[in-house]
A = this chain, B = another copy of it.
Amino acid sequence: MTEAATGRRGRGGGGAARRAARSAVSFESAPVIARNIPNFDMLGPEALEIIEANAETVLAEVGVNFVNNPAALDRWRAVGADVQGERVLIPRGLARKLCATAPGSFVQHARNPERSVEIGGRNLVLAPVYGPPFVRDLDGGRRYATMDDFRNFVKLGYMSKWLHHSGGTVCEPTDVPVNKRHLDMLHAHMTLSDKPFMGSVTEPSRAQDSVDMCKILFGEDFASNNTVMTSLININSPLTFDDTMMGALEIYAANMQACIVSPFIVGGAMAPVSVVGTLTQVLAEVLAGVAYAQLVRPGAPVIFGAFVTSIDMNSGAPTFGTPEASQILYGAGQLARRLGLPFRSGGGLCGSKLPDAQAAYETSNTLNAALLGGVNFMLHACGWLEGGLVASFEKFVLDADQLGILHRIAAGVSHDEEAQAMDAIREVGPGGHYLGCSHTQRNFQTAFWRSDVLDNKPYETWSEEGARSSQQLAAVRVKKLLDTYQQPGLAPDVSEALAAYVARRKAEMPDAFV
């Protein structure tokens, strides 16, 4: 992982880069979660085998559509699929066989090599909310997101100890033309943070911009031979692969950049109203998508994605933190592990309009399922509000704080002699107390996870301090983090080259707002 640094310095940073790095404030950042506890396997082997067999039937007899993409149809034809119009019927076993060249785990490099992450295996990598056109904070309420908001979220992500990844479209900067905003977003991730990030997928040319900017940031050689982005490719469920998303996937796969191949399902609308039926469709879609990535370039890193909500069948609104969503998450994790692929699901998902109790119930239900369900890459881990329409500043720091709990649980339980604490039990004895005993003195500073934002003070103290709700406490923390933010160092020539690239590309295009 030191190659990334070498690559960067090698291409010209030199002494200036090192001086910049030394002068930057260093924030504590936890390493990715390496689970030391079992996964929770909710489904039995019989159910899993039925799902796997049915998914093959779906691929062979129902098929998938690759829309407006003759090259994709050619690729499928070449490996023996039965292509009828835009419909691709994939013979039993073919997609699974093609998936075999996808790595079970891969490293996504960050420009700061200490922040590089390995995605897969027993690891859990946490990334922030993705996609909301609105933001909300306590003072400003709900409003369209701007590039300033975007930069603030990137800063918060950089400063969040438990967040490993800077994410992608943490909010949609609606004040920048649609066809140019990916440039500003990438530039923000690259310059305001040194954590790994995601590339643009809204147009193949924007994926290419992402690749080209990474070549500036990491150096041409390094970026050409290593995975430096993980990008989100949604499948247009049911069973449809559109040309925009596939165009981006083709560019990323060809460049050995990672893609999350992710069915996007509002249950009951885009998949059957049953857990096993939904899992069957999810598996069929992922098999087809991952196989296609391997057709583009065998060995291209991919992630088995599953974004599945429930639905309120009366209003049609998607719902989050529901039992069915948890069941699907657990089942999809088992299917991903049986396929040997990294797994993406979960997040701090909720339908609430405010960062209130509803938001937190729904979020915690999802976070807990994602931890035990074996998620390897968790997008939307913090900041998600209102079904993903809103990125909430307060919820970002509240959720990010909860992510510390996932780290502690995943670390497992030590049973070494110090953890057994028999000396303490003997020392204290019946009716005593442990506050002052020597075992406590040795261990209390690390014994318990501590929240950085929630209030555990006595009622009277809390009252005197203004009787603040979690949202108010979170607003204080947002301000404090943004006030103390300091930009990580970056070699001046890299910084200049990135700025120049953005300026040149913007100048080449007229503004487009749709």
> What's the least CB distance linking A332 to chain B, in Å?
12
Q: Specify which chain B residues have a CB less than 8 angstroms from the CB of A457 in the assembled complex.
A: 315, 317
Q: Chain B: which residue is nearest A439 at the CB level?
A: B272
A267-280 toward B: CB 8 Å interface, digit per residue (1/0)? Answer: 11111111111101
> What's the least CB distance linking A216 to chain B, in Å?
39
* B360 near A456: Cβ-Cβ < 8 Å: no
A150-184 toward B: CB 8 Å interface, digit per residue (1/0)? Answer: 00000000000000000000000000000000000
* A270 near B433: Cβ-Cβ < 8 Å: yes
* A281 near B425: Cβ-Cβ < 8 Å: yes
Any B CB within 8 A of the CB of A188: no
> What's the least CB distance linking A145 to chain B, in Å?
15
Q: Specify which chain B residues have a CB less than 8 angstroms from the CB of A277 in the assembled complex.
A: 419-422, 424-425, 439
Any B CB within 8 A of the CB of A11: no
Given known contacts A40-B38, A62-B429, is B315 in contact with A458 (CB within 8 Å)?
A: yes
Bound state CA distance, A444 and B395, in angstroms? 32
Bound state CA distance, A437 and B273, in angstroms? 10
> What's the least CB distance linking A101 to chain B, in Å?
25
Docked complex: A450-469 residues within 8 A CB-CB of B: 450-451, 454-459, 462, 467, 469
Q: Specify which chain B residues have a CB less than 8 angstroms from the CB of A50 in the assembled complex.
A: 415, 420
* B372 near A312: Cβ-Cβ < 8 Å: no
* B415 near A276: Cβ-Cβ < 8 Å: yes
Any B CB within 8 A of the CB of A351: yes
Bound state CA distance, A58 and B424, in angstroms? 11
* B440 near A268: Cβ-Cβ < 8 Å: yes
Docked complex: A429-456 residues within 8 A CB-CB of B: 429-435, 437, 439-440, 443-445, 447-451, 454-456
Any B CB within 8 A of the CB of A408: yes
Any B CB within 8 A of the CB of A326: yes
Taking a contact as CB atoms closer than 8 A, the residue among B351, B353, B448 that contacts A311 in the complex is B448
Q: Specify which chain B residues have a CB less than 8 angstroms from the CB of A46 in the assembled complex.
A: 415
Q: Specify which chain B residues have a CB less than 8 angstroms from the CB of A451 in the assembled complex.
A: 319
Taking a contact as CB atoms closer than 8 A, the residue among B40, B357, B364, B449 that contacts A355 in the complex is B357
* B42 near A413: Cβ-Cβ < 8 Å: yes
> What's the least CB distance linking A206 to chain B, in Å?
24
Q: Name which of A38, A270, A324, A422 has the most chain B CB atoms within 10 A of its CB.
A: A422
Bound state CA distance, A359 and B398, in angstroms? 12
Interface CB pairs A-B, < 8 A, 23: A38-B41, A54-B422, A57-B422, A62-B430, A238-B428, A238-B432, A238-B433, A238-B434, A240-B431, A268-B434, A272-B439, A275-B419, A276-B415, A277-B421, A277-B425, A315-B458, A319-B448, A351-B456, A352-B454, A353-B467, A357-B357, A358-B360, A361-B402
